[in-house]
Structure 1
Amino acid sequence: MLLSLAWSGSVGYGALISLATGDWVAATLACVSAGAMVGGICFRNFSAPRLCAAMIALSLGPTVPGALLAGQPLMFVLFLQIPMYLAAMTMACFKLNGMLIATMRAERENDRRARHDELTGLANRAGLVGALEERLSLRSRGDEALALLYLDLDDFKLVNDTHGHAAGDRLLESVAERIRGLLREGDLPARLGGDEFVVLAAGRTTEQAAAFGQRLIEVIGAPYDLGAGTPSRIGVSVGIAMAPEHGRRAADLLRAADAALYQAKFAGGSRCQTASEDDVARLRRLLAQTAAEPARRSAAA
């Protein structure tokens, strides 16, 4: 920054001295060079508008007193025009900076929307899978326990059918807030859509993940106020998968947790179920059959 200011000041000083000496060839070249450099300064440095404004003032500003020192009536044109030019280029610099900031904010907001659920503010499926893959790659270099808890609300459809979708949305927002209230540093909550939620819990063993799942059932199962004095109560079923016992990829862990969730639902709901070795073996057989299917079709053809 200091070198930029010094460079701009040297350009302005050269223009000032050229005008003061009365060498009109040198003065013309110096003023044209200073004016041309202002455009480059503006369009290359508008990301730092205050620095840009200072560089513009230092490079072309000295031509104003230089026009007075020249003692030529024609030079008074510079005395009148240069301040307006300096103001216009400085305003352009700040406007370009505003456009840059607006573009960056829009990109950041689009990235946030691409990775977060609009209703609850939790991560969506894309955000969850990206974070899970990253955690799994980091875990391969460490020994941190990693649990994935798959949640599905019980009787949520009844709330929508009875009280309307607006009340259902308020209920989902309340569920998200209750989940956030139980998290600790390193945990990631997500909503996959509908009434399905996922919590990626770091640093928990299988027993700790199961205890956390029971706590989620208790807290989410407490009564809700849907507004206008309308109380409601729902349950939640939880399926748990552990890494790497139940998978080393995001898709495998989600499948294992979903299978455990299905068992919890089948057993009556409002309970927590950890994926079993049978679930994992069944999923592996299914994946192997799916992978082998194209080869069988090619052989048959």
Structure 2
Amino acid sequence: MTKSLKSFSLPQGKLACWLLHPGRDTPQEIRTALVYTLFGTLPIFLGGVFNTIAVAWVLEYRHPSALFRFWLISEIIVCVARLVVLVLAHRRAQQGKSTPTDLYILLAPLWGATVGYGAFISSISGDWVAATLSFLSAAAMVGGICFRNFAAPRLVAIMIFLSLGPCCIGAVLSGEPVLLLTLVQIPFYLFAMSVAARKLNAMLITTMEAERENDRRARHDGLTGLLNRAGLFHATTYELARSARIGTGVPLFYIDLDGFKAVNDAHGHEFGDKLLVQVATRLRQLAGPDALVARMGGDEFVIVGQVPGAAEPNTFADSVIAEIERPFHLADDVVIEIGASIGIAPVTGVGNGIDKVLGSADVAMYEAKRHKKKSVVAA
């Protein structure tokens, strides 16, 4: 699901968190992806900024009063502030730094309020050209609000309310009975667009959850639950590279089981699979939370990252061999003993560079196999 290292911070304040709540509990990975969508669709954002400033400028020129002048000035200030915060957020996200998500989110309802204010003062001005233009502008913005922000349906509802709600008040104060129809139209429109935003949000989350599950299956070994080769490459490229849990110089251990084929031949693939699952469990426990464990296929495994206690690579490799040499109880009457050969290579980079490290560790592992009494070889 992750396509880029660029990531925007989750909101911290109570109000911003409430506005961005998707309406159901979701994993942090999906919430981060939902926040990411709010910083996209730049054409809609820029179109909205241009439209609202242009309408405010035209009507201020038509009505050079304090009310319209305040609208124009506030519109410019809010739009420029939103644009500056948006650009800053993109730059900080690209650099892997925290982003001003709370400020960006809170500026959105403020912008909706300036749109609503303009519609209100236009409706009570007695100038129906101004009222028509401002109402059309507000209605047009609602479409962009819904389709740009449906990842946060509460935010959509608040922005629509602030944009169109003042139109109802203006209609009541205008003295034109026919405009009272807006007291029915606008609440219905607010309800319909809010429901649409919620449904789009639910569809988006469902799609993200399915994509997340597909990614998990594609990057994990179906038998042991460990990372597979693709998962190892992805993790070193994105997750660990971003969180600095892996870096230059950490060891990569390439592990091959000695005697596994004999187990398969003697007891069948069912017991061979049970053995692999138990080996995976032991390796995961040995590696600790800060290292990656992967099954590369067959009876080959990889551990990469900081191992517990900052142990020396050879010392840790010896502990892995000792753990694997302990008997495996596969059934009441089936107890298996196997060994392991380990090749070690230092990580010189992440992403594509991990392929070369794997190659070096693989060569070292086969060198270890040739030394029956020495099962660990460093590249």
Q: Aligned letter for 1:63?
A: C
Q: 1:63-212 maps to which residues of 2 (within 5 A)?
A: 63-128=167-232, 138-139=247-248, 144=249, 146-155=251-260, 158-159=263-264, 162=267, 165=270, 167-184=271-288, 186-200=290-304, 202=306, 208-212=312-316
Q: CA deviation at 1:12?
A: 1.2
* Residue 259 in structure 1 maps to residue 366 in structure 2: yes
Q: CA deviation at 1:138?
A: 4.7
SS at structure 2 position matched to 1:239:
strand
Note closer, same or farther for the CA distance 1:58–1:145 as it changes in structure 2 (3 Å cut).
closer
Q: CA deviation at 1:83?
A: 0.8
Q: CA deviation at 1:182?
A: 1.1
What is the rounded CA distance, in whole Å, between the counterparts of 1:251 and 1:175 in structure 2?
20
Q: Aligned letter for 1:275?
A: V
Note closer, same or farther for the CA distance 1:168–1:14 as it changes in structure 2 (3 Å cut).
same
What is the rounded CA distance, in whole Å, between the counterparts of 2:369 and 2:227 in structure 1?
23
Asked if 2 retains the 8 angstrom alpha-carbon contact of 1:132 and 1:250, the reply is: no
What is the rounded CA distance, in whole Å, between the counterparts of 2:150 and 2:281 in structure 1?
42
Asked if 2 retains the 8 angstrom alpha-carbon contact of 1:153 and 1:235, the reply is: yes
Deviations 1:158-211 (A, max 9, x none): 35763653x54343222111111112465332111122212236579xx94344
Q: Aligned letter for 1:77?
A: L
What is the rounded CA distance, in whole Å, between the counterparts of 2:138 and 2:312 in structure 1?
70
Note closer, same or farther for the CA distance 1:201–1:65 as it changes in structure 2 (3 Å cut).
closer
Asked if 2 retains the 8 angstrom alpha-carbon contact of 1:117 and 1:124, the reply is: yes
Note closer, same or farther for the CA distance 1:226–1:64 as it changes in structure 2 (3 Å cut).
farther
Aligned residue in 1 for 2:375? 273
* Residue 31 in structure 1 maps to residue 135 in structure 2: yes
Deviations 1:104-127 (A, max 9, x none): 444444444443323223222234
Note closer, same or farther for the CA distance 1:16–1:230 as it changes in structure 2 (3 Å cut).
farther
Asked if 1 retains the 8 angstrom alpha-carbon contact of 2:345 and 2:357, the reply is: no
Q: Which runs of 5+ in 2 are unaligned?
A: 1-104, 348-353
Asked if 2 retains the 8 angstrom alpha-carbon contact of 1:149 and 1:201, the reply is: no
Asked if 1 retains the 8 angstrom alpha-carbon contact of 2:293 and 2:302, the reply is: yes
What is the rounded CA distance, in whole Å, between the counterparts of 2:292 and 2:221 in structure 1?
13
Identify the range of structure 1 (94-103 vs 187-196) with the bigger mean alpha-carbon deviation.
94-103
Note closer, same or farther for the CA distance 1:223–1:150 as it changes in structure 2 (3 Å cut).
closer
Q: TM-score, normalised by structure 2?
A: 0.57
Note closer, same or farther for the CA distance 1:225–1:65 as it changes in structure 2 (3 Å cut).
farther
Note closer, same or farther for the CA distance 1:65–1:164 as it changes in structure 2 (3 Å cut).
same
Aligned residue in 1 for 2:341? 238
What is the rounded CA distance, in whole Å, between the counterparts of 1:82 and 1:153 in structure 2?
73
Note closer, same or farther for the CA distance 1:239–1:48 as it changes in structure 2 (3 Å cut).
same
Aligned residue in 2 for 1:283? none
Q: 1:209-220 maps to which residues of 2 (within 5 A)?
A: 209-220=313-324
Q: CA deviation at 1:131?
A: 6.5
Identity %: 42
How many residues are treated as equivalent by the alignment? 260
Asked if 2 retains the 8 angstrom alpha-carbon contact of 1:53 and 1:90, the reply is: yes
Aligned residue in 2 for 1:290? none
What is the rounded CA distance, in whole Å, between the counterparts of 1:131 and 1:272 in structure 2?
31
Asked if 1 retains the 8 angstrom alpha-carbon contact of 2:156 and 2:197, the reply is: yes
What is the rounded CA distance, in whole Å, between the counterparts of 1:232 and 1:179 in structure 2?
19
